[in-house]
Amino acid sequence: MPGTYLITGATGSFGNAFTQFLLDNANPDKIIIYSRDEYKQSLMRERFKSKPGGPLRFFLGDVRDRHRLGMALNGVDTVIHAAALKRVDAGEYDPIEFIHTNIGGAERVIESCIARGVRRCVALSTDKACSPVNLYGATKLCAEKLFIAANSYTGGPPIFSVVRYGNVAGSRGSVIPTWRGLLKDGRRLPITDVRMTRFWMTMDEAVRFVWDSLHRPMGELHIPTIPSFKIVDLALAMGADSDKITLTGIRPGEKLHESLVGPDERIPGFGEYRSDTNEKWLSVNDIKERLKSI
């Protein structure tokens, strides 16, 4: 799908992967990398061997800045809003900053997309927005509601959609690279609770799911159907036995199980959707196979 794309927070794990997908599959006229970290932008230039006149454009800016967003969105057809502050513990300590970026930034993106006549905007959300128990999740739930409600302001275009999914296996900050480093150093793996379950989604699956959501006609909340796994089974699949595991207890703001649809939400095609009551499960051997590609 040719056209001009802008990705906020584009220097993160998802932004790098989605940029590669667009270059390989969409024949884009232009991809605007919008982020506030000049060092990560320089790394991305090197990774993609970006040259003057090529499809990649690097635009320093913050989603909190309406004026800067308006400049970056000039002539843009499609926006992928991936920028957010995400660390749960940091959100508990600095809630105002999370509110400014995750809620205020969402508002600025919406206003700028409308002002610039963008055709479609897809915002990335998280399982933590479902029945939130921490500040990060609460800000993402607010952002979800802002994006969906924005459709009533315009009648489309722009069409605003949201994708909500869990942690992406192997992404920056996920448990897999952290545990690999610990095992390499001969250290024990910290597990909060042996009962803990999570959903499994690869970066390729996340990228494809976001891409597919761009082609759906309605602006709404999109949720994937993905398998669950037990955290302790992940440790076993990575080669840790009971002697290499330390139980630490659940941290503030952390859930025992992930939820993608809460008991009081009304989402067509879904009842309550939790990682511990999911119908699809990964065994230890299934996890081992999936780890080969991460």
For 248, the domain range is 176-195+227-258+271-291
Whether 18 and 134 map to the same domain: the answer is yes
Q: Any idea what the CATH number is for the domain that residue 67 is in?
A: 3.40.50.720
The distance between the two most distant Cα atoms of the chain, rounded to a whole number of Å, is: 59
| pLDDT, position 9 | 97
User: In this model, does residue 268 exceed pLDDT 90?
Assistant: no
Residue 241 confidence class, pLDDT cut points 50, 70, 90: confident
Q: Are residues 42 and 186 in the same domain?
A: no
| Predicted local confidence at residue 252, as pLDDT | 79
Position 161 scores a pLDDT of: 96
Catalytic annotation present for 128: yes
Q: Are residues 44 and 182 in the same domain?
A: no
Q: What percent of the chain has pLDDT over 70?
A: 100
Q: Are the CB atoms for 272 and 262 separated by under 8 Å?
A: yes
Q: Are residues 97 and 43 both part of a single domain?
A: yes
Residues 6+ apart with CB under 8 A from 193: 231, 247, 249, 250, 256
Q: Is 249 exposed, middle or buried (0-12, 13-18, 19+ CB in 10 A)?
A: exposed
Residues 183 and 135 in one domain: no
Overall size of the chain counted in residues:
294
CB 200 within 8 A of CB 169: yes
Same structural domain, 25 and 149: yes
pLDDT, residue 68, reads: 97
Does 266 fall in a domain? no
Q: How far apart are CA 18 and CA 3, in angstroms?
A: 15
Establish if 263 belongs to a structural domain: no
Contact 219, 149 (CB under 8 A): no
Q: Which amino acid is at 174?
A: S
Show the tokens assigned to 123. 């915002």
Q: Confidence class of residue 76 from pLDDT cuts 50, 70 and 90?
A: very high
Find the DSSP H helices in the chain: 13-25, 38-48, 66-72, 88-93, 95-98, 105-116, 135-149, 151-154, 175-184, 203-213, 231-237, 284-291
Please say if the pLDDT value at position 23 is more than 80. Answer: yes
Assigned domain for 264 exists = no
Q: Would you say residue 218 lies in a domain? A: yes
The count of domains in the chain is 2
Model confidence pLDDT, tens digit, residues 146-162? 999 999 988 779 999 99
Task: Kindly state whether residue 59 falls inside one of the protein's structural domains.
Answer: yes
pTM of the model: 0.93
Confidence of residue 242 (pLDDT cuts 50, 70, 90): confident
d(CA 175, CA 188): 13
Any domain includes 149? yes
The verdict on 287 and 164 lying in the same domain is: no
Q: Are residues 237 and 215 in the same domain?
A: no
**pLDDT classification of 243: cutoffs 50, 70, 90:** confident
Token pair 């989402």 is found at: 267
- 74 and 211 share a domain? yes
Same domain, 95 and 74: yes
Q: Which of these ranges, 46-55, 85-94, 270-279, has the smallest mean pLDDT?
A: 46-55
Given pLDDT bands bounded at 50, 70 and 90, which one contains residue 171? confident
Considering the domain architecture, whether residues 190 and 278 belong to the same structural domain is answered as: yes
Distance from chain centroid for Cα 275: 18
Tell me if 242 is assigned to some domain: yes
In a domain, 88, yes or no: yes
Q: Which of 128, 140, 230, 255 is labelled catalytic? A: 128
Sign of CA dihedral 213, 216, 217, 220: negative
Residue 292 or residue 52, greater confidence: 292
Q: Which residues pair with 259 in a beta bridge?
A: 274
Q: Is 245 helix (H, G, I), strand (E, B) or coil?
A: strand
Instruction: Return the CATH number at 278.
Output: 3.90.25.30
211 and 251 both lie in a single domain: no
pLDDT given for residue 35 in this prediction: 97
Q: What is the Cα–Cα distance from 81 to 5, expressed in whole angstroms?
A: 11
- Which amino acid is residue 43, in one-letter code? L
Does residue 199 contact residue 186 with C-beta atoms inside 8 Å? no
Cβ partners under 8 Å of residue 258, min gap 6: 127, 166, 167, 197, 198, 199, 274, 275
Task: Report percent pLDDT > 90 for the chain.
Answer: 79
